[in-house]
C-alpha cells in the first residue's frame, strides 16, 4: 500500500496515514509562475497499490487539476492500481441537465480521472448516488451519517428529535437519517429562481416540529442560505431548537456570518474539506472523517468489503 496526498488538505491525509500506521509517499509539488502545476514522486511506486488523497477544496479547479496530474504521474511510474480518494467529489452538484445546453460536469470529472489512469474512486457522500454510474470502474461511496448521527445523539435526546430535509432533493437522505435515529421526518418545500444561483425561497413545511429539536441534514453547506431559511421556517412553526448536520463544510462567501448570526444552535460537519480558523466559530463542530476513510482504504487494499462498514448500506 502507498498513500499519496495533494496539497489541498494535508492535515486530513496525515490523519488517514496515522490511522493506517504508515507514511505518505514523498512528493515534490510546486506551481509555476503562470499557474501550471508540477508533480514528482520521490520514490518508486512500481507495482504498488496507490491511494491518491486530495480534497477538492478552494481553489477547486487547481485542486482537481493537481489530483489528475498526480494520477498521471503514478500511471507513468507503473503503479499497479490507482485509487482516487476524493473525500468531497468536485462538481458533484452538476450531475444532470436542468435546462438545454448545460454540461453534466460530474460525468466529465469521472471521465477525466479514468483517462488520467484511475482504476477506482472513493468518495464520501456524493451529492447524488447516480454519480457512481458515471465512472467506468468500482466506486466506493462512503457514508458520514453514522459518524454525524452518533454525535447528534450525544447532544439531543433521541425521543425529542425531528429530522428535517431542507428541500425535496434531500428527502431520501433525511429518510435514512429518520430510520437511523428512529425519529419523525419533516420536509421543507422550496423553490429556486434559476436565474439566481445559491438562493432559494421557503414555501411550506410538511411535518410536525412544534416543541421538537429539529436536526436539519444535508450533504453540504455552501453559502448557508438554504439552511438558515430552513431554520427560520422551523422556529416560526414552533420548533424548540435547530441543529444542522452536514458532511461537507464548504462555507463559501457569507456562510459563516449567516450561520453564526442565525437561530441555529450548532452546526456539525466533517473535515472532508479544510476549514480555516477564520471560518470557525463557537457554534461549529468539526468531526474527523479520517478513521472512516482509513478503514475503507484498508478494506480495498485487503480485497475486503467496504459495504460491511455500514449497517444496512447495500
DSSP notation for 278-309: GG--TTEEEE--HHHHHHHHHHHHTT--SGGG
First to last CA, the chain: 26
Burial letters 118-154, b for 16+ CB under 10 A, else e: bbbbbbbbbbeeebeebbeeebbbbbbbebbbebbee
Decide if 248 contacts 126 (C-beta within 8 A).
no
Catalytic site residue 75?
Answer: no
Dihedral (Cα; 181, 185, 186, 188), 10-degree rounding: 80
Cα–Cα dist 14/6, whole Å: 11
Question: Which helix (H) or strand (E) segment is 249 a member of?
Answer: strand 241-249
Q: How many CA atoms lie within 13 A of 268 on its CB side?
A: 24
In the beta sheet, which residues pair with residue 270? 248, 287
Based on its alpha-carbon atoms, the radius of gyration of the chain, rounded to whole angstroms, reads 20
The packing angle between helices 171-181 and 145-155, to 10°, is 60
Question: Which helix (H) or strand (E) segment is 242 a member of?
Answer: strand 241-249
Using the structure block, give the residue that is written with the C-alpha cell 451529492. Answer: 127
Question: How many other CB atoms are found less than 10 A from the CB of residue 115?
Answer: 11
Task: Considering the candidates 96, 190, 240, 279, report the single residue annotated as catalytic.
Answer: 190
Q: Which residues are catalytic?
A: 190
Amino acid at each position: 500500500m502507498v498513500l499519496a496526498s495533494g496539497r489541498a488538505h494535508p492535515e486530513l491525509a496525515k490523519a488517514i496515514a496515522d490511522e493506517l500506521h504508515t507514511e505518505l509517499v514523498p512528493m515534490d509539488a510546486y506551481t509555476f509562475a503562470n499557474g501550471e502545476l508540477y508533480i514528482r514522486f520521490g520514490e518508486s511506486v512500481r507495482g504498488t497499490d496507490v491511494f491518491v488523497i486530495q480534497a477538492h477544496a478552494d481553489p477547486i479547479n487547481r485542486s482537481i487539476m493537481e489530483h489528475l496530474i498526480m494520477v498521471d504521474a503514478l500511471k507513468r511510474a507503473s503503479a499497479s492500481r490507482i485509487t482516487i480518494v476524493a473525500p468531497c467529489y468536485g462538481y458533484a452538484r452538476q450531475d444532470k441537465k436542468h435546462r438545454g445546453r448545460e454540461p453534466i460536469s460530474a460525468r466529465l470529472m469521472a471521465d477525466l480521472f479514468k483517462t488520467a489512469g484511475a482504476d477506482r474512486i472513493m468518495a464520501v457522500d456524493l451529492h447524488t448516488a447516480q454519480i457512481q454510474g458515471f465512472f467506468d470502474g468500482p466506486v466506493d461511496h462512503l457514508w458520514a451519517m453514522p459518524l454525524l448521527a452518533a454525535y447528534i445523539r450525544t447532544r439531543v435526546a433521541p425521543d425529542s428529535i425531528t429530522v428535517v430535509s431542507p428541500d425535496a432533493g434531500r428527502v431520501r437522505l433525511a429518510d435514512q437519517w429518520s430510520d437511523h435515529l428512529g425519529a419523525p421526518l419533516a420536509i421543507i418545500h422550496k423553490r429556486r429562481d434559476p436565474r439566481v444561483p445559491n438562493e432559494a425561497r421557503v414555501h411550506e413545511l410538511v411535518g410536525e416540529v412544534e416543541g421538537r429539536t429539529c436536526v436539519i441534514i444535508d450533504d453540504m453547506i455552501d453559502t448557508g442560505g438554504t439552511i438558515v431559511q430552513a431554520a427560520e421556517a422551523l422556529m416560526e412553526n414552533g420548533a424548540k431548537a435547530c441543529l444542522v448536520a452536514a458532511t461537507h463544510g464548504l462555507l463559501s462567501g457569507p456562510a459563516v456570518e449567516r450561520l453564526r448570526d442565525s437561530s441555529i444552535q450548532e452546526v456539525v460537519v466533517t473535515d472532508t474539506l479544510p476549514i480555516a480558523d477564520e471560518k470557525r466559530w463557537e457554534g461549529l463542530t468539526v468531526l474527523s472523517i479520517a478513521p472512516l476513510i482509513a478503514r475503507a482504504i484498508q478494506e480495498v487494499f485487503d480485497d475486503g468489503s467496504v459495504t460491511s462498514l455500514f449497517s444496512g448500506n447495500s
